[in-house]
Amino acid sequence: MTDNAFYSFAFGVGTKNRKGEWLEVYYPQPLFQPKAALVEIIGAAIGYQGGNESIELDSAALSKLTPLLQDERQQTILTAMTSSDQPRVITFIEEDRELTSTPETYLKLHLLSHRFVKPNQQNLDGIYALLANVAWTDRGAVDLDELFEIQLQARMRGEVLEVASVDKFPKMTNYVVPTGVRIAHSARVRLGAYLGDGTTVMHEGFVNFNAAAIGPGMIEGRISQGVTIEAGSDLGGSASTAGTLSGGGNIVLTIGKDCLISANAGTGIPLGDRCTIEAGLYVTPGTLVQVIDEDKNPVKVVKARELAGQSDMLFIRNSQTGTVECRTNKRAISLNEALHAHN
């Protein structure tokens, strides 16, 4: 190893099914870009040779590693893990490449929600094959093939096993709770979402993995996978942003600063700063748009993709003709400071 910073490593505790397959991994405090010298010391103690690898740890190995770390929180984590009988692991990511294991996949999702990286800055190829479809219960992750027996055992004790969801992704707040955010309904923010300081996600808001609200901002609509909404922008009720999943095209969207996508509106093109889309209007890349100059004179008709990434645009539908128009947005959208305060 060189003296350059390493990509990431983390100590985790997780859940396996009865076949010994990983269902999920929780990393309390990932180390992002630690010094390679530290990785070399840790690696030498457990036989790590380099590369992207996950190594299971027993209590003896954890006891040996604890004195090697100077960070008190990391020492606390290792001490707690030493006394646990849950599967424990250390995951190393030396190179950002296609995913190869479930523990590595969970570490990359943690890095997003811990704000170490932003959407589309990591290689997440292969993610779906490495995430099991899991029953997320009040007793943790349960393999679907084992769910019936565990439900039955709970009933025999006079209990009900609460199954909150059946999904490949858990909710973020069971793993990471970023500082300075408000989330009205935690199940609507997946692990791997990036929520910046000052972000509010209301009850019907949704933030997918590898998606970001940089904050401050109000999210009442949907941020799809791969989409980033910059600081000062709001996403109105039931508004939507087109991602690249489920046949959503290949345009990676960024919504610039101080934008407003109004209620029931949406966009399939990137927006620059200070843009507004009126309520109920969905702008797709192929939408025909009449460009209007500052004197309200028609200039030309273009497909919306030709306006992608430009700033100070106001998209509205002409109530008389039904034509979608793009005008200069002369009003800056300022956020309500009281709504976005987190004190």
Q: What one-character-per-residue DSSP string does 18-85 give?
A: TTS-EEEEE-SS-EES-BHHHHHHHHHHHT--SSSEEEE--HHHHHHHGGG---HHHHHHHHHHHT--
| pLDDT for residue 339 | 45
Q: For the chain, what is the largest distance between any 2 Cα atoms, rounded to a whole number of angstroms?
A: 76
Q: With contact defined as beta carbons under 8 Å apart, do 211 and 230 qualify?
A: no
Q: What is the CATH number of domain 135-167?
A: 3.30.60.70
Beta strand residue intervals within 79-133, DSSP E:
88-93
What is the CATH T-level fold of the domain 175-328, as seen in this structure? UDP N-Acetylglucosamine Acyltransferase; domain 1 (2.160.10)
Summarised one tens digit per residue, pLDDT across range 269-320 is 999 999 999 999 999 999 999 999 888 889 999 999 999 999 999 999 999 9
Q: Is 98 a catalytic residue?
A: no
pLDDT digits (tens, 9 = 90+) for 200-258: 999 999 999 999 999 999 999 999 999 999 999 999 999 999 986 644 456 789 999 99
Count Cβ atoms within 10 A of the Cβ of residue 315 and give its class: 0-12 exposed, 13-18 middle, 19 or more buried: buried
How would you classify the pairing of strands 22-26 and 134-137? unpaired
pLDDT for 330 equals 67
Q: How far is CA 47 from CA 12, 20, 100, in A?
A: 18, 22, 20
Q: How many CB atoms lie within 10 A of CB 21?
A: 11
d(CA 270, CA 311): 10
**Would the pLDDT of 1 be above 80?**
no
What three-state secondary structure class fits 143? strand
CA distance 187 to 165: 9
Which residue, among 69, 61, 53, 40, has the nearest Cα to 28 in the 3D structure?
A: 69
Could you read off the pLDDT of 146-164 as tens digits, one per residue?
Answer: 999 999 999 999 999 999 9
Question: What rounded mean pLDDT belongs to the chain?
Answer: 93
Question: Residue 98: exposed, middle, or buried by beta-carbon count in 10 A (0-12, 13-18, 19+)?
Answer: exposed
Nearest to 290 by CA among 261, 260, 327: 327
135-167 with 175-328: one CATH topology?
no
Does position 3 have pLDDT exceeding 80, yes or no?
A: no
Looking at the domain that runs over 8-130, which CATH code has it been given? 3.30.70.2010
The domains of the chain are located at: 8-130, 135-167, 175-328
Measured CA to CA in angstroms, residue 299 lies from 278, 295, 296, 327 at distances of: 21, 10, 9, 10
C-alpha 118: how far from chain center: 8
Catalytic residue among 104, 220, 230, 278: 220
